């Protein structure tokens, strides 16, 4: 695919209000610096931490943001905008800065994932795309990470593409789940675009298209002796296992080794034990068992707790749409304009003002202990600042890590997160506090607005 | 955007197993006709009907399916495929037929949404994309339709783009919700691509960027007097309403009329009554109230039941990800190969064999009464066949309806669906039966497989 750059392709992938607000700013001559902060307000049920992902896509978009002549012609056709404003839009590029958590970072609610500072029109126009891109990948990485925890080293494969919410989600789920520890994906295009390991087995349709199940196994083994995984539940798992044994023996006779058998229905814990025994009784200890079909961290934990003999899991739909929490209560909020800290007071939706930093303290064993959200220029001794500059003057200002490097970083951090915060159900709340400087500015800003507006 | 055709852009957006199975079929010389049936196995909680959507995208994909030289080079680099097979793939096009429900059709569980018949490799390769495309739009249309029911004529606007699962979902949600009765979307690119009405208001960031809230209102009214909607909850709804009154009076003095005020937080039923009174007491009966913030059919029903004075709803995230049911238990299953009806027997996952048709009977008042799933060539007197031929010989074989026409069709059908099937909670199960011919073939096929395989 030779697509136009993201920022040209998707300049119009925005809410109309971004453009009507931009027109107002333009007519008023409002071009001073605005800072927007993107954060998650609440944990969905059973989530105790988040995994940052999607930053690279947001940066690529900002770097190339530009309205094409087709875009401008469409906007003109709406009759809403002056030709002066459309002429201005034609020249708009993103010239600002971005501070952000590196992809793979573990973070917590209220902590900014990224902060954008730029002339207000530029920062405002980018809102919709940034939320869309960063929230999806963060959502999926945060969900996939839970499967990774439970799997305890067993390889996990993303099988979700068909039921992901659209083509873009299909690609991003493959990327974000890999970042969160998955081994690879069934998604071939994601394999190509992100250089991910790709995996595949066979479908029931393949088995049923042959006059006999065992024939379908033989043909697959013959064509793919290096990656033979046989789906054995089409008619009956036990019968299927016996046929797989026969084909495995035929492979042995050719000096080949079957990789996996795959279970896709029924009581996986019970069936896997039965199938394991059939394989072992026939000297096929080396043939592994892959399980698929409705898996997420909860079902995986159940199957393993029940003694399921599963060597690898294919994780599909429930991870791919983050089924138990399919969106975040996240926001991209203006926190400063023209040097003035700002906030809204709407019921239950207060924002932390001004440019910020997150400092993290680690305990003597190097494990995550406590975070403090501060003003950007505060210094906290013996704590590590987490938000890093990624963009300045509209250009990416540091070498971005590769996806593999972000994955390594995530894995190293997850290992340092104490267990109570990782509990599958009702995790402990990780301590995040506000610095006195931030609290004070917050209070002063709120008082000042109340005096002015109420 | 000048994208390559869908089928070229996304030939690799498939599961690896589609390609390994295709290689097996190819090596075995299996090129006979296969029929795959796409259907939904179960209703998610509280759903009593589905709304078909996404067919046009699936057809555009099939029409243009083609592996590019880049695709083939990537597949070669995996080392999995023979050069003979890759040479074959280069020439693969979709040459088959598609029977499907027109977009906007109301349908029920187990009923085929579409059936694809083609040489098995072609029909198999298309599986992943077809499920991805049709299930997303059908999911969203089926969810959005419920908001449409509750709104009882009040205009609904899709505000979900930022939290939709990716860019493609953002576009498809705008399209599918419009099909299901929404008035339009905030999504500008969707407006351009699908010729949808677009709507926008202002964000809290806009209000807070001004030194005074009322100033932000004045500037918006000055720049967009024809579409003035003021967001009044940034600091306080009541104070905001009084400021809106002042600006509305200033507009009146210029011969203009404010359109809406928007409420976005708090107890919308109570606040809307208070705001309505403030507007009315000031002679602004014509200024309407738009509500947003976490709406779906359930919250909308609560607010209206509590006497909420809302003229229009902006519906966002919960519709855009179908939050209470973010995926369907749907499948694209082989039902016939080389003239032979086929099925799998896996626990709990039985498929209806062979090419099928759905017949619908209407009662004397023209309302939906009962459906029967039959074999494709059965005739049911006094009943209407629902699956129509859309593609033959790999080309679209009839003029596709415009999106507006599909929307009209949907609205006409929804009006004919009796209330019990539309209940928001625990809807009555709509009666769908199988023809004796289908039941008989189903039983014979199952017996034959059991004898052969078990």
Chain B: residue nearest A214 by CA? B453
Please give, rounded to a whole number of angstroms, the shortest distance from the CA of B74 to a CA of chain A: 7
For residues B187 and B190, give the distance between their C-alpha atoms in angstroms, rounded to a whole number: 5
A268 to chain B: closest CA residue: B347
Pick the residue of A203, A266, A290, A348 with the most B CBs within 10 A to test the interface with B by mutation: A203
Distance from CA of B9 to the nearest CA of A (A): 6
Cβ–Cβ of A186/B17 closer than 8 Å?
yes
Chain B residues in contact with A266 by the CB 8 A cut-off are: 346-347
**Distance to chain B for A382, nearest Cα, Å:** 35
Give how far A398 is from chain B: nearest CA, Å: 26
Q: Per DSSP, which regions of B33-160 are E strands?
A: 33-40, 50-51, 97-100, 106-107, 114-119, 156-158
Q: Kindly provide the b/e burial profile for residues A49-72, where b requires at least 16 CB atoms within 10 angstroms of the residue's own CB.
A: bbbbbbbbbbbbbbbbbbbbeebb
CA–CA distance, A258 with A224 (Å, rounded to integer): 10
Q: Which residue ranges does chain B devote to CATH 3.20.20.70?
A: 146-320
Residue B322's nearest CA partner among B40, B62, B112 is: B40
pLDDT digits (tens, 9 = 90+) for A30-40: 999 999 999 99
End-to-end distance of chain A based on CA atoms, in angstroms? 54
How close, in Å, is residue B23 to chain A by CA atoms?
8
Contact list, B188 vs chain A (CB under 8 Å)? 12-16, 19, 74-75
pLDDT at A148 over 70: yes
Instruction: Report the pLDDT value the prediction gives residue A2, as an integer from 0 to 100.
Output: 57
**Residues forming CATH 3.20.20.70 domain(s) in chain A:** 151-320
Select the residue from A20, A271, A291, A343 to test the B interface by mutation, using most B Cβ atoms within 10 A.
Answer: A20
CA distance A375 to chain B (A): 19
Q: Are A21 and B346 inside 8 Å of each other by CB?
A: no
Q: CATH fold of A151-320, please? A: TIM Barrel (3.20.20)
CB contact under 8 A, B188 and A344: no
Closest CA to A3 of B427, B95, B416, B2: B2
Here the tokens at position B122 are: 């072609």
Selection from B52, B48, B138, B147 nearest residue B423 by Cα: B48
Average pLDDT rounded to a whole number, residues A404-416: 98
Per-residue pLDDT of B196-213, as tens digits, reads 999 998 999 999 999 999
For testing the chain A interface, which of B3, B8, B16, B30 should be mutated: the one with the most A CBs within 10 Å? B16
Candidates A199, A205, A333; nearest CB to B16: A199
| Chain A residues closer than 8 Å to B186 by CB | 15-17
> Tens-of-pLDDT digits for all 454 residues of chain B?
457 899 999 999 999 999 999 999 999 999 999 999 999 999 999 999 999 999 999 999 999 999 999 999 999 999 999 999 999 999 999 999 999 999 999 999 999 999 999 999 999 999 999 999 999 999 999 999 999 999 999 999 999 999 999 999 999 999 999 999 999 999 999 999 999 999 998 999 999 999 999 999 999 999 999 999 999 999 999 999 999 999 999 999 999 999 999 999 999 999 999 999 999 999 999 999 999 999 999 999 999 999 999 999 999 999 999 999 999 999 999 999 999 999 988 766 678 999 999 999 999 999 999 999 999 999 999 999 999 999 999 999 999 999 999 999 999 999 999 999 999 999 999 999 999 999 999 999 999 999 988 8
Q: What is the pLDDT of residues B52-73, one digit of tens each?
A: 999 999 999 999 999 999 999 9
Residue A336's closest chain B neighbor by CA? B209
CA B153, B159, B161, B164 torsion-angle sign: negative
pLDDT digits (tens, 9 = 90+) for A277-320: 999 999 999 999 999 999 999 999 999 999 999 999 999 999 99
- Contact: B323, A326; criterion CB under 8 Å: yes
Rounded to two decimals, the ipTM of the complex is 0.97
CA–CA gap between residue B320 and residue B162 (Å, rounded): 9
Pairing of strands B184-185, B156-158: parallel
Residues of chain B with CATH 3.20.140.10: 6-140+325-453
Residues of B in contact with A71 (CB under 8 A): 192
Q: List the single best residue of A36, A344, A351, A446 to mutate versus B (max B Cβ within 10 A).
A: A344
The Cβ-side half-sphere exposure at A414, using a 13 Å CA radius, reads: 26
CB–CB contact B234 A344 (8 Å): yes
Task: State the DSSP string of A401-428.
Answer: PPHHHHHHHHHHHHHHS-GGGG-SSSPP
* pLDDT given at position A380: 95
Torsion of CA B361, B364, B367, B372, to 10 degrees: -10
How far, in Å, are A101, A209, B32, B355 from residue B339 at the CA level? 57, 11, 9, 10
A163: nearest CB among B131, B206, B345: B131
Q: Which residues of A touch B346 (CB under 8 A)?
A: 204, 233-235, 264-266
Contact check, Cβ <8 Å, A344/B169: no
Q: Which two tokens stand for residue A276?
A: 């394991």
- Nearest CB among A120, A205, A227 relative to B334 is that of A205
Helices (H), B258-306: 268-281, 297-305
Interchain proximity A200–B70, CB inside 8 Å? no
By CA distance, what is A222's nearest residue in B? Answer: B24
Q: How far is the alpha carbon of A268 from chain B, nearest alpha carbon, in Å?
A: 11
The predicted pLDDT at position B210 comes to 96
Mean pLDDT of A371-387: 96
Cβ of A334 within 8 Å of Cβ of B204? The answer is yes
Does the pTM surpass 0.90? The reply is yes
d(CA B247, CA B254): 11
pLDDT at B337: 97
The closest alpha carbon to B312, from B147, B137, B448, belongs to B147
The one-character DSSP state at A283 is T
Nearest Cα residue in chain A from B198? A16
Yes or no, beta carbons of A327 and B323 under 8 Å apart: yes
Helix (H) or strand (E) holding A194: helix A188-194
Q: For residue B19, list chain A residues with Cβ-Cβ distance below 8 A.
A: 188, 200
Measured between beta carbons, which residues in chain B are less than 8 angstroms from residue A349?
265
The shortest CB-CB distance from A334 to any of B71, B201, B205 is to B205
Decide if A124 and B205 are in contact by the 8 Å CB cutoff: yes
Closest-CA residue of chain B to A132: B162
Burial of A307 (0-12, 13-18, 19+ CB in 10 A): exposed
DSSP string, A143-171: HHHHHHHHHTT--EEE--GGGSSSHHHHH
- pLDDT tens-digit series, residues A71-130: 999 999 999 999 999 999 999 999 999 999 999 999 999 999 999 999 999 999 999 999
* Predicted local confidence at residue A262, as pLDDT: 98
Distance, in Å, from the CA atom of B296 to the CA atom of B46, rounded to the nearest integer, reads 13
- The CATH-assigned architecture of domain B146-320 is Alpha-Beta Barrel (3.20)
In sequence order, the 6+-apart residues with CB closer than 8 A to the CB of A398 are A388, A389, A390
The average pLDDT across A419-429 equals 97
Q: Which of A128, A188, A454 is the closest to B161 by Cβ?
A: A128
Whole-angstrom Cα Rg for chain A: 26
- Per-residue pLDDT band for A1 (boundaries 50, 70, 90) equals very low
* Interchain pair B187, A13: CB under 8 A: yes
Which residues of chain A does B57 touch, with a Cβ-Cβ cutoff of 8 Å?
A: none
At the fourth CATH level, the homologous superfamily of domain A6-140+325-453 is: nicotinate phosphoribosyltransferase (3.20.140.10)
Residue A454 and residue B235: Cβ atoms within 8 Å? yes
Does A16 contact B347 at a Cβ distance shorter than 8 Å? no
Model confidence at A351, in pLDDT bands (50, 70, 90)? confident
A-to-B residue pairs, Cβ atoms closer than 8 angstroms = 354
Of residues A264, A331, A304, A275, the one with CA closest to residue A115 = A331
Of the pLDDT bands very low, low, confident and very high (cuts 50, 70, 90), residue A453 is confident
Q: Please compute the mean of the pLDDT values over residues A244-257 and round it to a whole number.
A: 98
End-to-end CA distance of chain B: 54
B416, two tokens: 């004919």
Between chains, do A204 and B333 touch, taking CB under 8 Å as contact? yes
Kindly tell me if the per-residue pLDDT of A247 is higher than 80: yes
Q: In chain A, what percentage of residues exceed pLDDT 90?
A: 96
Angle between helices B127-151 and A167-179 (to 10 degrees): 110
């Amino acid at each position: 695919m030779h697509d136009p750059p993201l920022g040209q392709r998707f300049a119009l992938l925005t809410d109309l209000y971004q453009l009507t607000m931009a027109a107002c700013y333009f007519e008023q001559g409002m071009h001073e610096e605005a800072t927007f902060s993107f954060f998650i307000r609440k944990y969905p049920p059973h989530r105790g931490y988040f995994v940052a992902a999607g930053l690279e896509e947001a940066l690529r978009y900002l770097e190339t943001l530009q309205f094409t002549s087709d875009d401008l012609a469409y906007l003109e056709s709406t009759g809403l905008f002056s030709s002066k404003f459309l002429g201005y839009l034609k020249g708009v590029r993103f010239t600002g800065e971005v501070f952000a958590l590196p992809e793979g970072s573990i973070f917590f609610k209220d902590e900014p994932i990224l902060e954008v500072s730029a002339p207000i029109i530029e920062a405002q126009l980018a809102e919709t795309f940034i939320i869309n891109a960063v929230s999806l990948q963060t959502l999926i990485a945060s969900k996939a990470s839970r499967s990774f925890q439970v799997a305890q080293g067993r390889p996990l494969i993303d099988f979700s593409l068909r039921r992901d919410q659209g083509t873009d989600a299909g690609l991003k789920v493959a990327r974000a789940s890999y970042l969160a520890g998955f081994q690879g994906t069934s998604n071939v295009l994601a394999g190509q675009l992100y250089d991910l390991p790709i995996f595949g087995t066979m479908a029931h349709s393949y088995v049923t298209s042959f006059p006999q199940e065992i024939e379908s196994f033989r043909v697959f083994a013959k064509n793919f002796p290096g990656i033979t995984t046989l789906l054995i539940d089409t008619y009956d798992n036990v019968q299927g296992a016996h046929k797989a044994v026969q084909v495995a023996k035929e492979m042995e006779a050719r000096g080949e080794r079957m990789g996996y058998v795959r279970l896709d229905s029924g009581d996986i814990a019970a069936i896997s034990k039965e199938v394991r025994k059939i394989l072992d009784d026939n000297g096929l200890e080396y043939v592994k068992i892959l399980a698929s079909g409705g898996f997420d961290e909860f079902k995986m934990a159940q199957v393993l707790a029940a003694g399921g003999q599963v060597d690898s899991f294919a994780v599909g739909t429930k991870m791919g749409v983050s089924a138990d929490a399919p969106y975040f209560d996240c926001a991209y909020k203006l926190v400063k304009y023209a040097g003035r800290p700002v906030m809204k007071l709407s019921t239950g939706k207060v924002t932390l003002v001004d440019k910020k930093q997150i400092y993290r303290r680690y305990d003597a064993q190097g494990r995550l202990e406590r975070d403090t959200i501060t003003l950007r220029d505060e210094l906290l001794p013996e704590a590590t600042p987490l938000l890093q500059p990624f963009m300045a003057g509209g250009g990416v200002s540091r070498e971005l890590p590769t996806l593999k490097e972000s994955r390594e970083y995530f894995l190293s951090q997850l290992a340092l997160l104490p267990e109570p915060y990782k509990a599958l159900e009702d995790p402990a709340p990780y301590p995040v506090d506000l610095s006195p400087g931030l609290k004070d500015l917050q209070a002063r800003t709120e008082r000042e607005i109340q005096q002015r507006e109420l």
